[in-house]
């Protein structure tokens, strides 16, 4: 995908740029309605509407809007789904999912990121996202099945198939796939769909994400977000 490094200063301009690649009007409206500046560090807010990934601390990033929008498009959400979001990060992806689905459960292994995401989601007026701290590579079996699963970190096919086991019939999982362990930066977006006889996989365009990390901790509720 294009680096999209053109300077963009507002939501409408960003949506105009994305619409050349993303035809899904519901996805574009979600991008327009979620204030991306609420999900980036204060010192980077002047760049928040740029079509680029930005650092959020701890070696993590808020993904490029074009990539996020493409992942949302591939999930084909209708508005009544329960979605599992793996890798909360800044909370921006979860916020967009929340505009497109009934409820989102977002899991993050770093408590400090989950706290910041909670504050950002509240500032953006998003109230249908539940945050959980834990090992996202395990999914969240006790809350399964999910109508859709979004994975915001790269993993191998075996791990993605295991997560796909938590999908409801007809459900979709979208994730970056690292197919070659010796070249982890060579990744491709994939869609897994659950059928009665198993999972099908559809390979899409190249992307680049941080790896999905497993630390085998079970999920737990996040600490309260900081007060203003």
Give the residue numbers marked as catalytic. 63
Q: In angstroms, what CA-CA distances link 16 with 2, 10, 25, 72, 143? A: 15, 10, 11, 17, 37
Quote the CA–CA distance of 37 and 34 in Å, as a whole number: 9
Q: Three-class SS of residue 184?
A: coil
Least Cα distance to 114 among 137, 92, 88 occurs for 88
Buried b (16+ CB within 10 A) or exposed e, 14-24: bbebbeeebeb
Quote the CA–CA distance of 109 and 114 in Å, as a whole number: 8
Query: Using omega within 30 degrees of 0 as the cis cutoff, is the peptide bond preceding 24 cis?
Result: no
Least Cα distance to 202 among 173, 225, 182 occurs for 173
């Amino acid at each position: 995908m294009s680096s999209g490094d053109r300077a963009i200063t507002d939501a409408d301009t960003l949506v105009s740029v994305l619409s050349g690649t993303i035809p899904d009007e519901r996805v574009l409206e979600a991008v327009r309605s979620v204030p991306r500046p609420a999900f980036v560090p204060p010192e980077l807010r002047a760049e928040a509407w740029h079509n680029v990934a930005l650092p959020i601390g701890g070696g993590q990033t808020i993904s490029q809007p074009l990539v996020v929008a493409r992942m949302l498009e591939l999930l084909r959400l209708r508005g009544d789904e329960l979605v599992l979001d793996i890798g909360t990060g800044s909370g921006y992806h979860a916020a967009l999912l929340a505009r497109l689905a009934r409820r989102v459960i977002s899991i993050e292994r770093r408590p400090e990121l989950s706290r910041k995401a909670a504050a950002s989601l509240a500032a953006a007026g998003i109230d249908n996202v539940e945050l959980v701290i834990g090992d996202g590579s395990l999914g969240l079996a006790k809350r399964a099945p999910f109508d859709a699963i979004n994975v915001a970190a790269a993993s191998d096919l075996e791990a993605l198939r295991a997560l796909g086991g938590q999908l409801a019939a007809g459900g979709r999982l979208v994730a970056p796939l690292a197919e070659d362990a010796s070249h982890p930066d060579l990744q491709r977006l994939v869609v897994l769909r659950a059928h009665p006889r198993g999972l099908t996989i559809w390979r899409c365009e190249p992307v680049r994400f941080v790896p999905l990390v497993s630390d085998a901790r079970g999920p737990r509720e996040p600490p309260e977000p900081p007060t203003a």
